[in-house]
C-alpha cells in the first residue's frame, strides 16, 4: 500500500477549509489544514510536502493579499491556487490556477493529481 501524499491546504474560511480537508482525506492525501497564513508559510518552508493548495473564498478579505505573499515566497513545492471569487489577478507564481465559484472538488482533485504527479516525476529525474 502506498503512503499518503502530504499536502498543505490553506483557506481563511474555516467551514470551507474543514469541508475540503475532509474530502481530500478520503483520497490518498495526508492533509495539513491551516487557516492562518503565517502557519501556512512556515509549514510550506519547513515540511516535505508534495503540494500546497491555497483557496481564496471571500471577496475583499485579507486572504487575497496573504495568498499573494505566500506565492511570492520562494516555495519549493507545486502550488494550486483556487480563486473561488475570481478577484485575484492572474498570479504567475502559482503552478496551476482554478477560477470561479463553480470550481468543484472534482476540479481540485484532478489538478492536485496533475501537480503531485509532476512533483513525483521531477524527483525521479533528479
Domain range for 84 is: 5-125
Give the tens place of pLDDT for each residue, 34-47. Answer: 988 778 878 887 77
What's the grid cell of residue 59? 471577496
Which strands form 5-11's sheet, in the order they lie side by side?
29-34, 5-11, 51-56, 79-83, 96-99
Q: How far is CA 51 from the centre of its chain?
A: 7
Give the tens place of pLDDT for each residue, 72-89. Answer: 776 678 888 888 877 766
User: Given the DSSP bridges, would you call strands 5-11 and 96-99 parallel, antiparallel or unpaired?
Assistant: unpaired
The CATH number that applies at residue 46 is 3.40.50.2300
- Residue 102 or residue 67, greater confidence: 102
- Does the pLDDT at position 20 exceed 90? yes
Tally of domains within the chain? 1
Amino acid at each position: 500500500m502506498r503512503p499518503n501524499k502530504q499536502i498543505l491546504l490553506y483557506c481563511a474560511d474555516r467551514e470551507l477549509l474543514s469541508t475540503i480537508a475532509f474530502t481530500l482525506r478520503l483520497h490518498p492525501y495526508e492533509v495539513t489544514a491551516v487557516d492562518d497564513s503565517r502557519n501556512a508559510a512556515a509549514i510550506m518552508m519547513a515540511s516535505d510536502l508534495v503540494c500546497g493548495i491555497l483557496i481564496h473564498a471571500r471577496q475583499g478579505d485579507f486572504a487575497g493579499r496573504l495568498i499573494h505573499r505566500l506565492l511570492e515566497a520562494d516555495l519549493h513545492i507545486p502550488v494550486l491556487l483556487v480563486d473561488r471569487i475570481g478577484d485575484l489577478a492572474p498570479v504567475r507564481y502559482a503552478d496551476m490556477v482554478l477560477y470561479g465559484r463553480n470550481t468543484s472538488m472534482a476540479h481540485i482533485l484532478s489538478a492536485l493529481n496533475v501537480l503531485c504527479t509532476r512533483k513525483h516525476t521531477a524527483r525521479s529525474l533528479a
